[in-house]
Structure 1
Amino acid sequence: MEDVKIDSSLSFGGYNWRVLDKQNDTALIITENIIEHRSYHDAYKEITWADCALRKYLNGEFFDKFNATDKSRIIPVINKNPDNPWYGSKGGADTQDSVFLLSIEEVVCQYFGDSSSKLHNRGRNQRYWFERKDENNCKRIARLEVNKGNIWWWWLRSPGRVNVKAVYIHGDGNIGIQGNNILKGNLSDGKCTGGVRPALWLKL
């Protein structure tokens, strides 16, 4: 594992992952592809990451799919959950997570290029989106694991403009900072809800 570098790929627990960060003998990794469809929560109600059904699933049923050796390499971390920077909706309490979704700040400012100027300097006509021509959009595009030819939108853990929505990455890589419906996602997609790209800190 000594050759692991940022932006390299690795195999772990039956999935392919992308390395987002490396600190000493640990790495932050995210699945290369969207591995499944899931709603953010199982009821249409105001919710934050701390209490949502998707967090419970990732740290419960999903985590339990790993064998004992792999589990021992996954490092629990404390995640900050800031309020939505445009709308002020509550991000909720800090959480201890073994597996998690990335926040809008992590995706926009750190690991997929730096679009922080667009996050912190909202344009007068920007209501729901960043600029569609954001140069970093291409870095955020994700494909479905089951059909790698299809791109899809994927969840972040941050709240949308209200707490019945959560921020997401559109299929074209743009930031849906207003959020999608936590239960049904984008209603026009019918039964297909948001994509899930788990992230975790791994002991190398």
Structure 2
Amino acid sequence: MGDIKIDSSLLFGGYNWRVLDIQNNRALIMTEYIIEQRAYHDAYKDITWADCALRKYLNGEFYDKFNVTDKSRIIPVINKNPDNQWYGSKGGADTKDSIFLLSIEEVVCKYFGDSSSKLYNPGKNQRYWFEKKDENNSKRIARLPGEKWSTWWWLRSPGRVNVKAVYIHGDGNIGIQGNNILKGNISDGKCIGGVRPSLWLKL
């Protein structure tokens, strides 16, 4: 795998990944690019990460794309799913995941710089978005291969209500109010949620 360190890239299972963290001979990695576009859930109803269709897909059909050797290196973890910090919508039960999406805390406070002050102390004008001038926005921008412009991508955290999920806007800003969980099913192609899977990899 070469010299693996935080913020380096690696090839695993046919995808390019970015190393976000290293702990005890394992690395947290997330796909470098948006790998596909899918809905967060397949029905318009209150939902949390624990029960959503996207989690089922990532830990089922997507996970099964890896060969036996690669699967043996993917480490299942228990993920916490806190409530939305601005709106109080429920994050749901803890989950055991082999493949997962990052949470708002992980994206805002840990792996793309520290913007925690904006998460826990929103300004009077921060009703739906973080500051567009947030210094860490550029670190969160991602594209779908073949697309000229950056694309928005899902987090696993709930939005303002539980028919929405938090997302990263095309400019890297945090859509903490959330997008409709069925956005992946809209036929006009303008607002389809991007997927950037994450996993813990045995080194």
Would the alpha carbon gap of residues 186 and 125 (structure 1) be closer, same or farther in structure 2, given more than 3 Å must change?
farther
Which structure shows the higher strand fraction?
A: 1
Give TM-score, length-normalised by structure 2.
Answer: 0.96
Output the amino acid matched with 1:119: L
Structure 1 residue runs without a partner (length 5+): none
Q: Kindly state the Cα deviation for residue 186 of structure 1 after the two structures are TM-superposed.
A: 10
After superposition, give the CA deviation of every residue in 1:7-59 in whole Å (9 maximum; x if it has no partner).
Answer: 00000000000000001210000000000000000000000000000000000
Are 1:180 and 1:186, in contact at CA under 8 Å, matched by a contact in 2?
no
Output the amino acid matched with 1:202: L
Q: Kindly state the Cα deviation for residue 184 of structure 1 after the two structures are TM-superposed.
A: 1.9
Sequence identity, in percent?
84
What are the residue-to-residue correspondences of 1:117-128 with 2, within 5 Å?
117-128=117-128
Match of 1:38 in 2: 38
Are 1:37 and 1:192, in contact at CA under 8 Å, matched by a contact in 2?
no
Match of 1:139 in 2: 139
1:155 aligns with 2:154: yes
Taking the aligned partners of 2:83 and 2:20, their CA distance within structure 1 comes to: 23
Q: Kindly state the Cα deviation for residue 149 of structure 1 after the two structures are TM-superposed.
A: 3.0
Structure 2 residue runs without a partner (length 5+): none
What are the residue-to-residue correspondences of 1:41-120 with 2, within 5 Å?
41-120=41-120
Cα RMSD for the two superposed structures: 1.6
Q: Kindly state the Cα deviation for residue 150 of structure 1 after the two structures are TM-superposed.
A: 2.6
Q: Kindly state the Cα deviation for residue 3 of structure 1 after the two structures are TM-superposed.
A: 1.7
Are 2:155 and 2:167, in contact at CA under 8 Å, matched by a contact in 1?
yes
Taking the aligned partners of 1:64 and 1:130, their CA distance within structure 2 comes to: 36
Q: Kindly state the Cα deviation for residue 126 of structure 1 after the two structures are TM-superposed.
A: 1.1
Would the alpha carbon gap of residues 166 and 193 (structure 1) be closer, same or farther in structure 2, given more than 3 Å must change?
same
* Number of equivalent positions: 203
After superposition, give the CA deviation of every residue in 1:66-106 in whole Å (9 maximum; x if it has no partner).
Answer: 00000000000000000000000000000000000000000
Would the alpha carbon gap of residues 188 and 170 (structure 1) be closer, same or farther in structure 2, given more than 3 Å must change?
farther
Output the amino acid matched with 1:64: D
Would the alpha carbon gap of residues 186 and 118 (structure 1) be closer, same or farther in structure 2, given more than 3 Å must change?
farther
Give TM-score, length-normalised by structure 1.
Answer: 0.96
1:178 aligns with 2:177: yes
Q: Kindly state the Cα deviation for residue 107 of structure 1 after the two structures are TM-superposed.
A: 0.1
